[in-house]
């Protein structure tokens, strides 16, 4: 064990105490055992309960029993729980920053991004849920005579499956709108980052959430994940496209709705009128935040020939200057990869690219002196088909830089491939950048930023097109997906049928005149 690893192990033991694990798992169902590990050392962090098939069914039963009581709370009272959670999270952020770092291996600033994102969601839905959920009036089939109200009912028990890369944001961030809409949530986070999700749940309970309304079950993904899909009234899934397809099939078989936030191979475009220095600084964050294990991070850069030299120089210099390490403090820029599997994928993509003629401009090597899965942030050029790094998601700190001369060609190349999650466009001319953005086939586009401007703007929808998913988190869609719409139409004064002896022909003629009049009156 290296010095860095033995120090990291000592810190982990101080943070993840048996008392903390007991507090977080005390009411979590599971007669079997599983465990989570720290990427900083590869060593076990904690032993955790894993639920059997029968226990998962029982958890859903308890959630289902508790949900109507929770839904009966006035929405403002439910929203107040989110606002108290918001304050408690800011107050106690150091506790969860330690857990996120220990479980994911990421740097502290990147862990703090999760605190920011969850606070944004808690504040937004805590304040705006009453407006999103209130009954809405609509014009009826016959103006004034048909009164229409659209009600929003909770779906019941939402099943939520989340990955390891953003364990606070992708557990709590998605659970909050489901809860405030009056649902119960049964969540299966990735076991390797379960402590973070369990900590967030405990904080919500401290903020006033009835414990049965948000429950967590742990277990092997391919075993416990399908059990969530089997019992849920609606499924939210974040993870790989491959697993997302299985979840979609399971939800389709039961005819329950699902939103799927999946993988990406996100392009970043540096247009001819960009500031290369600013673009280089932004590209470092776009490519290497959370050590590149971020669904919206950039893995393909298209830079205009006129500034490619300057951009690449600045980008490479900034990348080489990044510091790495396992410290639970603000002193390092980058952390570790999260697992052996992630490390192996990164190595495979880099070695394959180099073997087929790509050039390593920065990084390219593992850092075993820091921990088992540390890997340098890596910039490649000359990446072409059929290299793996060309079109497959690496989900690590590896980016391929390509040059272009024709902007239409760059847009076409950015739109290549099955994914459509996030894109980034750099230009000094905002109108130019917006025109390019509108031509990109992605769910979000960030202008003069990598990903955080769109992701952090929680009033607006975020999600993927194509193989990057179905549905959106954030904004109206991010909460209304957790509701069933019900239309209540009330007919007044006259029926929707011929009246007082009018025959069908005259009634049809009357309706024909009415339809023409409604169009003329611009009735929508």
The Cα–Cα gap between 128 and 122 comes to: 10
By beta-carbon proximity to ligand NAD, the closer residue of 100 and 262 is 262
Query: What is the largest distance, in Å, between two alpha-carbon atoms of the chain?
Result: 95
Catalytic, 119? Answer no
Nearest distance, CB of residue 415 and ligand NAD, angstroms: 18
Compute the least distance from the CB of residue 296 to ligand NAD, in Å. 7
Q: Which is nearer to ligand NAD, 261 or 333 (CB)?
A: 261
Cβ-closest position to ligand NAD: 225
**261: annotated active-site residue:** yes
Q: Which residues bind ligand NAD (CB under 6 A)?
A: 161-166, 170, 188, 190, 221-222, 225-226, 238-240, 243, 246-247, 261-264, 295, 393, 395, 421, 464, 469
CB-nearer residue toward ligand NAD: 70 or 214: 214
C-beta contacts of 350-354 below 8 A and 24+ residues apart: 350/378, 350/380, 350/389, 350/398, 352/387, 352/388, 352/389, 353/380, 353/383, 353/387, 353/388, 353/389, 353/400
- Residue nearer to ligand NAD on the CB measure, 197 or 207: 197
Choose between 39 and 325: whose C-beta lies nearer to ligand NAD: 39
Q: How far is the CB of 256 from ligand NAD (least distance, A)?
A: 14
- Among the listed residues 36, 212, 295, 299, the single catalytic one is 295
Residue among 188, 192, 199 at smallest CA distance from 39? 192
Residue 88 CB neighbours (<10 A):
15
Whole-angstrom CA distances from 214 to 80, 185, 207, 367 are 16, 5, 13, 40
The span from the CA of 300 to the CA of 147, in Å, is 53
Q: Between residues 182 and 335, which has the closer beta carbon with respect to ligand NAD? A: 335
Supply the minimum distance, in Å, between the C-beta of residue 331 and ligand NAD.
26
The CA-atom distances, in angstroms, between 473 and each of 237, 409, 481 are 11, 31, 9
**Minimum distance from residue 227 beta carbon to ligand NAD (Å):** 9
Pairing of strands 184-188, 136-139: unpaired
C-alpha 271/C-alpha 428 separation (Å) is 9
Q: How far is the CB of 138 from ligand NAD (least distance, A)?
A: 32
Listed residue (389, 264, 290, 288) closest to 39, CA to CA: 290
Helical ranges in 356-456 per DSSP H: 388-391, 407-414, 430-438, 452-456
- The nearer residue to ligand NAD, 182 or 463, going by C-beta atoms, is 463
Residue 456 near residue 112, CB atoms below 8 Å: no
DSSP bridge pairs for 298: 266
Catalytic residue among 114, 192, 212, 261: 261
Within 13 Å and on the Cβ side, how many CA atoms surround 270? 30
The minimum distance between CB 345 and ligand NAD, in angstroms, equals 10
Catalytic residues: 261, 295
């Amino acid at each position: 064990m290296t010095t860095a690893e033995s120090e990291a192990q000592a810190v982990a033991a101080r943070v993840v105490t048996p008392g903390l694990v007991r507090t977080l798992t005390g009411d979590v169902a599971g007669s079997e055992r599983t465990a989570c590990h720290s990427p900083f050392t590869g060593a076990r962090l904690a032993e955790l309960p894993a639920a059997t098939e029968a226990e998962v069914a029982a958890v859903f039963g308890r959630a289902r029993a508790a949900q109507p009581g929770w839904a009966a709370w006035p929405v403002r009272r439910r929203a107040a729980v989110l606002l108290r959670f918001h304050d408690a999270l800011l107050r106690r952020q150091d506790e969860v920053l330690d857990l996120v770092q220990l479980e994911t291996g990421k740097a502290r600033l990147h862990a703090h991004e999760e605190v920011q994102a969850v606070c944004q969601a808690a504040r937004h839905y805590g304040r705006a849920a009453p407006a999103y959920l209130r009954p809405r009036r609509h014009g009826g089939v016959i103006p004034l005579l048909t009164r229409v109200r659209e009600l929003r009912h909770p779906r019941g028990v939402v099943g939520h499956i989340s990955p390891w890369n953003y364990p606070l944001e992708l557990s709590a961030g998605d659970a909050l709108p489901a809860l405030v809409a009056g649902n119960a949530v049964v969540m299966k986070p990735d076991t390797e980052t379960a402590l973070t999700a369990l900590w967030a749940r405990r904080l919500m309970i401290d903020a006033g959430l009835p414990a049965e309304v948000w429950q967590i079950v742990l277990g092997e993904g391919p075993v416990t994940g399908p059990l969530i899909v089997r019992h849920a009234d609606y499924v939210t899934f974040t993870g790989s496209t491959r697993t997302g397809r299985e979840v979609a099939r399971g939800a389709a078989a039961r005819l329950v709705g699902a939103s799927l936030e999946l993988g990406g191979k996100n392009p970043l475009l540096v247009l001819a009128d960009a500031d290369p220095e600013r673009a280089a600084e932004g590209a470092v964050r776009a490519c290497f935040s959370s050590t590149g294990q971020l669904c919206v991070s950039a893995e393909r850069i298209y830079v205009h020939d006129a500034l490619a030299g300057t951009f690449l120089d600045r980008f490479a210099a900034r990348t080489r200057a990044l510091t790495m390490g396992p410290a639970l403090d603000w002193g390092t820029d980058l952390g570790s990869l999260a697992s052996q599997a992630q490390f192996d994928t990164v190595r495979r993509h880099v070695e394959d690219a180099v073997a087929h003629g790509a050039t390593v401009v920065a990084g390219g090597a593992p850092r075993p002196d820091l921990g088992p899965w540390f890997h340098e942030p890596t910039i490649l050029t000359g990446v072409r088909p059929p290299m793996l790094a060309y079109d497959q998601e690496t989900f690590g700190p590896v980016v391929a830089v390509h040059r272009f001369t024709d902007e239409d060609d760059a847009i076409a190349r950015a739109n290549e491939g099955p994914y459509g999650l996030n894109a980034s466009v750099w230009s000094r001319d905002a109108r130019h950048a917006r025109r390019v953005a509108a031509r990109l086939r992605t769910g979000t586009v960030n202008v003069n930023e990598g990903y955080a401007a769109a992701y952090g703007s929680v009033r607006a929808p975020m999600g993927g097109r194509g193989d990057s998913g179905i549905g959106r988190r954030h904004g109206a869609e991010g909460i209304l997906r957790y509701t069933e719409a019900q239309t209540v139409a009330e007919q007044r004064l006259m029926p929707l049928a011929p009246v007082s002896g009018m025959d069908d022909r005259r009634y049809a003629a009357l309706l024909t005149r009415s339809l023409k009049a409604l169009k003329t009156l611009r009735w929508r």
